[in-house]
Every structure is written in C-alpha cells, then in structure tokens.
Amino acid sequence: MELRFYNSFSRQIEAFAPLEEGRVRMYHCGPTVYKRPHIGNYRAFLFADLLRRLFDLEGYQVTQVMNLTDVGHLVDDADDGEDKLLAEARRAKLDPWKIVEQVSAQFFADLDALGVRPAHHYPKATDHIPEMVRLVELLVDSGHAYRVGDNYYFDVHAFAAYGRLSGNRIAELESGARLEVNEEKRHPADFALWKSDPNHLMKWETALGPHGFPGWHIECSAMSMKYLGDSFDIHTGGEDNVFPHHECEIAQSECATGKPFVRLWMHTKFLQVDGGKMSKSLGNVYTLDDLIERGFSPWDFRFLVLRGHYRTQLNFTWEALRGAAEARRSLLDWRGRLQAAERNGHGQGQAEVRQAGAAFDRALEDDLNTSEAVAAIFQLRNHFMHHGLSQQAAVAAMQLLARADEILGLFEMTADGAAPGLADAEVETLIAERNLARQEKDWARADQLRDQLHAAGIVLEDKFDGVRWHRGE
Ligand code: AMP
Ligand code: ZN
C-alpha cells in the first residue's frame, strides 16, 4: 500500500516515509492514570491500535510505545494548580500509588476487552525520573531553560519554532487572558519543566533539588526518546494534546538534542457524547462498563469508533452504538454465509470482490479513511445478498473480510485465537448427528442438537437436498 497521512505539523497530507526503511517507531500519549479512562480516551487509543495493526500487516517492524502519566499532569493542563492524581487521592482518601496501580490494571483490562494489541512498552512517568532530570539539565546548560528557586522553566523565546505545531504566536499567547500571572517566569508563555513542593505527595530528591516532581510535557519527551531515539516517526494524541502538550514536547526535545524530534504528528478528533463534551454534571462520562451493562460488547464500541474517520467529528449516542452493533452483527452473519458459499456458492462476483478490495485499500491509503473502507465491505455484502457469489469469489471475499478484520478488528477472538463457538468440523459433526436423530424420528434429540447449534451462533436451513448452515442469527 502507498500510505498517505495528514501531518498536523505541516497541515498537509504527506506520503508516509519512515526514517528507516521497513521500520516504524511510534509514540502515543497515554492515559493519566488518576481514574479509569472514559470512552473518549479510547477513541484516541483505538486510533493508535489502528496504526499498529496496519503497519503490522504491511510488514513493518514496529516499535510502539504508550506512556502512563502517573504524576505531574495538573488540572486544566496548566502549569500551576493541583496534580490530577493527587486531587483524586485526596478525594478518594487513597494512597496515590494505590490509585496508579488500580487504574493501570483497569486500563490494561479495558485495552484487552477492546481487542487492542499490546504496545511494546508502557512506560510510567515515575519510573523515568533520571531521564527527565537529565533533559532538564541539558536544557539549562544550553541556555533554553532557567531556574528560579527549585523550579525550572523553559524559555519559549529561546526556540524560534515555538508555536509552529499549534499555530500559536508567543506574542498572542502572552497578551491572551488565558495565561495566569506567575511572577517567577521570565515570560508569561514560558512553561514548567520541573517543579518543587515540599507538600507534594509524589516528590523526588534529585540533582535539580529536593521535593521535585516533573512537568507533564517533559515526561513524554523523556519516555519517547528513551524507547524510540532522539528522532522517530510518529507521535499521536487527542486533538487537545496539540497545545500546550505537544508544542512543549517539540521545544524541549529539539533544544535538548539539536535534532528534529518527530516526523509525523497525528491527532484524533474528540469523541463527543450527545452532541457535546462529556461532563460529570450531565452524567455522560461513560466507561466501558456502562456500555457492557446495557448489553453491548466493547467490540461494538470499537466498531463505532473505527468506522468513522479519525479526523472527523464522532458523536456517541446509544442509538449510534446500537447501529454499530447491528452492523457488526450483520458482518458476522455475512462471514457465516460466505463460509457456506465457499462450499456451495452460486453466481459470479469475481469482479465485484476485486473492486471492493481495491476500494478498501485505496480508502485506507488515503489518511486511514476507515469510513470509506468499511463502506466498500458493506457494498460487497449487499452484492452478495442480492446476487450471491461463486465459490471462488466467496473464497476471495472471505480473504478480504479477514484482511479487514486484521486491520480494523471486527470480530472478537477467544484467547487461543479462534473465533468463539464451534469449529467447522464440530458443526458438521453435530449436523450429522441431528440428521441421524431425524432419520430415527428422535425429534427431541434433533431439537436439542438444533438448539445447541443455535446457541453457538449456527443457523440451519433445512432444504430439500439437505441441511445448509452458516454462522449468524
Ligand atoms: P488524559 O488521560 O487526559 O491524559 O488523556 C489521554 C488521551 O485521551 C489523550 O491523548 C487525550 O487527548 C485523549 N482524549 C481525552 N478525551 C478525549 C475524547 N473525548 N475523545 C478523544 N480523545 C480524547
Ligand atoms: Zn504525552
């Protein structure tokens, strides 16, 4: 495939060219582990998984890193104010380390339930204090950062490209009302690299001083460069990460190493709920459990998210989730029918399958247009439902569906990698047993076998010339 992606930095679609041929190194801003991530966060993380799956299938050697922010992310993404984790610890009357442990475990369980492939590294900020201290030292030594008491700030005027990613100009930032006045800073737009507070619950004694803790941005610079090198291919996050988080990461990293930091910046548009921002007061900050309680599979949510293009608005409603669940089930049903058609298909359809495959790939090549890619699959399904497919075309359609499943993750798998339920041979055996029971007029046994097959998602169709079956409803 000839992949092209929208680069938030250049604001253009660019042909994908990794720094090293055949290799992709990518970093994703992960959760702040102060409470269980909500479904909006999972839009960002599912996008990371989509990239991962695509590169895997394309044969790249992938190194994927997603961090866990367990200190330093202050309320409102600000420089001053309360640490999100410590605020939660106080509210819940729990040890912050305990919260990190619980929420991290919950996060990994959620990723698993969503069928996300594990990244190669999930570094935690608090495990990388020395790397952060080193970066701050480099920045002070090179004149890009300054110390006031035991606090360290980055001097935004020392980096000419500051503001390139977000389009913010320093002058406008500094005249804007959004920046609170902090007497310590040389310029209002400077940002904290490292802070000190004897009352902080999570603090470290380092070469930078006692009672220190990192700023949120320096964490991602330190962890990404540790696992991926000073320059790497892709950095992702939700759209709110563009500023200040990623803008500051670029400034710190490039000033510390003197090298370009990231080639390709990709940002996921926010998931909205009921047409607006999720909010506690509206009671619509949903977690995966809220979905499961209403009878949905996390895979239905996965499908809802991934059949939308990552840069377009996506609005979560229960109605939309129901639609996604039904659509996913109809694909599962189609897979069953295709399996049957591989054995006894009629019709033609080779050209349609080829066209669908080409349209699927073209859509993904075009900045991961999963919405059009999924539409191509459904178009082929429609053709099949009206005109059938020859055995050969059904085999090819199954291959396309399997490819779509690899990239998008459509069908849930059991732990051993098999589709849940019965294997084909087991189905055939049960059907043969049922035929025998019917010949012997053992109707109770025959019905029992039909029910057993039905419970495993196998649909039987009694025809004059025998029994046909497919997976579905
Ligand atoms: P946080 O836990 O706040 O650090 O966020 C983790 C990731 O989720 C970041 O990349 C955010 O940009 C992203 N994120 C937060 N809210 C949403 C949302 N509603 N839709 C999509 N991504 C989000
Ligand atoms: Zn980050």
Give ligand 1 pocket residues (Cβ under 6 A): 29, 31-32, 40-41, 43-44, 69, 237-238, 240-241, 268, 270-271
Angstrom distance (rounded) from CA 354 to CA 417: 28
With a pLDDT cut of 70, the percent of the chain lying above it is 97
Angstrom distance (rounded) from CA 459 to CA 472: 6
Residue 178 is predicted with a pLDDT of: 60
Ligand with smallest separation from the Cα of 27: 2
Provide CB contacts within 8 A for 202, sequence distance 6+: 70, 71, 83, 85, 86, 96, 97, 126, 213
Angstrom distance (rounded) from CA 306 to CA 366: 15
Q: How confident is the model at residue 81 (pLDDT cuts 50, 70, 90)?
A: confident
Find the mean pLDDT for residues 297-307.
97
Count of alpha carbons within 13 angstroms of residue 440, beta-carbon side: 11
Ligand with smallest separation from the Cα of 237: 1
Angstrom distance (rounded) from CA 41 to CA 125: 18
**Minimum-distance ligand 1 atom for the alpha carbon of 269:** 21
Q: Is 212 helix (H, G, I), strand (E, B) or coil?
A: strand
Tokens of 422: 């019965």
Query: Is the CB of residue 59 less than 8 Å from the CB of residue 24?
Result: no
Q: How confident is the model at residue 420 (pLDDT cuts 50, 70, 90)?
A: low
What is the chain's length?
473
pLDDT in tens, 445-460: 888 888 888 877 888 8
- Strands 204-206 and 209-214, how do they pair? antiparallel
Q: How confident is the model at residue 38 (pLDDT cuts 50, 70, 90)?
A: very high
Residue 415 has pLDDT above 50, yes or no: no
Provide CB contacts within 8 A for 142, sequence distance 6+: 255, 256
Give the H or E element holding residue 327: helix 318-344
Angstrom distance (rounded) from CA 49 to CA 115: 9
The full set of domains in the chain, from first to last, is 18-268 (3.40.50.620), 288-408 (no CATH), 424-471 (no CATH)
Angstrom distance (rounded) from CA 223 to CA 236: 14
Query: Is the CB of residue 86 less than 8 Å from the CB of residue 35?
Result: no
List the one residue out of 379, 255, 287, 361 whose CA is nearest residue 36: 287
Residue 417 has pLDDT above 50, yes or no: no
Residue 176 has pLDDT above 70, yes or no: no
The residue whose CB lies within 8 Å of the most ligand 1 atoms, and thus the one to mutate among 8, 26, 35, 41, is 41
Q: Of all protein residues, whose CA lies closest to atom 11 belonging to ligand 1? A: 238
With a pLDDT cut of 90, the percent of the chain lying above it is 77
**Minimum-distance ligand 1 atom for the alpha carbon of 270:** 20
pLDDT in tens, 115-167: 999 999 999 999 999 999 999 999 999 999 999 999 999 999 999 999 999 99
